[in-house]
Structure 1
Amino acid sequence: MAQVQQGLKAFFVAVFLLAGLPAGAAPQEVRFASLDGTPLTAWVFQPVGRAPTGTVIALHGCGGLYAASGARKGQLNARHQAMADLLMAEGYAAVFPDSLTPRGESSLCTQKIGTRRIDQGERRADTLAALTWAAAQPWAQAQRMALLGWSHGGSAVLAATDAARADVRAQPLQPVVAIAFYPGCSAALKSGYRMSAPLVLMLGEKDDWTPPAPCVALGNASGAEVNVYPDSYHDFDNPTGQVRVRTDVPNGTHPGQGVHVGPNPVAREQAYARLRELLRKAFQ
């Protein structure tokens, strides 16, 4: 873990210096405890030269924060970096907590649901702790906090905004908006999910990993905003790659047959345009 953190620090400082930006623009490594006591690390991005007008807690999916291969191996993956850049350009701070590395995991994607050592209990504890930590920082405004998550992190958004849970209701701080990209919604639907904050779902029409139907039903039951993007699979907002089949994923609508993942640039732009609108309204 220490090697990953040192490598990230050096990488970010080098990138910002080469771009002619001050080294202070590189993300800050911070540490705080999850509500379950786990010591967590997070990466904090802030806009250069101005105070952030809002803060987004960004929650990684089952593959964690970091790229597992390629030129970005060991660095924030392309989607997370692109989102950090987008949020900073909009004038917001972004906090990316790492729920996997501190617990000895690098990825959950190839583990069957039900056998994972890290589930939504841990993700909820981490998310609520990140909200509390960020709201206490001198550069943040507690009334301008948002949640954003992808896949397993999207499910964490649901877990952390479920007013049916006593630990969520007990939190004095609630986000002003919660945005979940292609979460798994079946568990929340069955458990009687109730929103503690305005919820927006961004779904792929053809997603065969976390299918949209349970999320559409959850939206109808809870009053959440639901956006379903045509001709789109899981990970449709990834800025790199192409649609492919991951045969190493044992879950999905056809267990054992793999799942489709990959970008749809049109859907990505539409979803990110809506995300910008939501955050601007929430942080005004």
Structure 2
Amino acid sequence: MLICALWPVWAAAASPEEVHFPSLDGTTLKGWLFKPASPAPHATVVALHGCGGLYATTGARKGELNARHQAMADWLVGEGCAVLFPDSLTPRGERELCTQKIGQRRIDQTQRRADALGAGAWVLAQPWAAPQRLALLGWSHGGSAVLAATDATRREVAAQPWRFALGVAFYPGCSAALKSGYRPATRLAMMLGELDDWTPPGPCIELGQAVGAEVNVYPGSYHDFDNPIGSVRLRADVPNGTHPGQGVHAGRNPVAREQAYARLKELLREALR
């Protein structure tokens, strides 16, 4: 059975529509919206990019959604879901954050929370969107944004007249949420790499135990384990991580990707049915 539709959906590579909407902080954001061919209303996923942004920087896809984002769009549309990818970086004059030290970044979880909430409000105002069938998904810096935008202790989150039905965070950084007293406003699941030395799993495991969130740790996996292309490599240009200044490892693990996406499918089906 499909996640978001009861009828067949026919799609090759999904094609996006460029949309614009306001962040809660007043920034006009650009986003890429994918909708299935099935009849509305559509359950929708808001998908949040990591510190590298939405776009491929090299190769044949340069300037387009990178392989991971396009693969997720294809997968979700094939399951009958709409998906919106907000761009939090280029409207604010940034291309990427990964090579910037965390304390020097101009874009942090304050902006990412505002963007996620603005995107959710925009989706729910659209005539094609199914009320109360909205999930939030993010990777890395965007995974941390999932935590930020589902934190019931934050005024902006508590003030919204709606809630995400589900939050799923792939390898987020959890230290800040753990220290701040994070409390989930919705069902939360985290997908973590056992060997991640960029956003290590330990704080997320501790956070999950503290708030009753689902925690999935995938053996033999580094950061970015669900990338559909490439291999594990050392990124010496990243100044953050478990060993600052020594770089971090990131790259795909096809077995873990398959397992994580199987669980993601179950979670979305339960939350968006």
Please report the TM-score for the alignment, with normalisation by the length of structure 1. 0.91
Whether the 8 Å contact between 2:143 and 2:172 is mirrored in structure 1 is yes
C-alpha separation in 1, matches of 2:127 and 2:219: 42
Larger deviation: 83-92 or 51-60? 51-60
2:231 maps to which of 242, 259, 266: 242
Aligned to 1:143, what secondary structure does the other structure show? strand
Write the deviation string for residues 165-215 of structure 1: whole angstroms up to 9, x where unpaired: 111111111111100000000000000000000000000000000000000
Whether the 8 Å contact between 1:146 and 1:176 is mirrored in structure 2 is yes
Write the deviation string for residues 237-283 of structure 1: whole angstroms up to 9, x where unpaired: 00000000000000000001000000000000000000001111111
1:170 maps to which of 135, 159, 169: 159
1:256 maps to which of 206, 229, 245: 245
Q: CA deviation at 1:53?
A: 3.8
Whether the 8 Å contact between 1:53 and 1:283 is mirrored in structure 2 is no
1:114 aligns with 2:103: yes
C-alpha separation in 1, matches of 2:41 and 2:82: 6
Whether the 8 Å contact between 1:52 and 1:91 is mirrored in structure 2 is no
Q: Which runs of 4+ in 1 moved over 3 A?
A: 20-23
Matches within 5 A, 1:19-30: 26-30=15-19
Whether the 8 Å contact between 1:52 and 1:92 is mirrored in structure 2 is no
- Tell me which residue corresponds to 2:78: 89
1:196 maps to which of 185, 196, 216: 185
Structure whose residues are more often helix by fraction: 1
- Tell me which residue corresponds to 1:17: none
Aligned to 2:266, what secondary structure does the other structure show? helix
Whether the 8 Å contact between 1:252 and 1:258 is mirrored in structure 2 is yes
C-alpha separation in 2, matches of 1:64 and 1:196: 26
Aligned length: 264
Please report the TM-score for the alignment, with normalisation by the length of structure 2. 0.94
Q: Identify the structure with bigger relative contact order (alpha carbons < 8 Å, sequence gap 6+).
A: 2
- Tell me which residue corresponds to 1:273: 262
Matches within 5 A, 1:213-252: 213-252=202-241
| Percent of pairs with identical residues | 72
**CA-based RMSD:** 1.4
Long gaps (5+) in structure 2: 1-9
- Tell me which residue corresponds to 1:155: 144
C-alpha separation in 2, matches of 1:189 and 1:137: 35
- Tell me which residue corresponds to 1:7: none
Whether the 8 Å contact between 1:186 and 1:214 is mirrored in structure 2 is yes
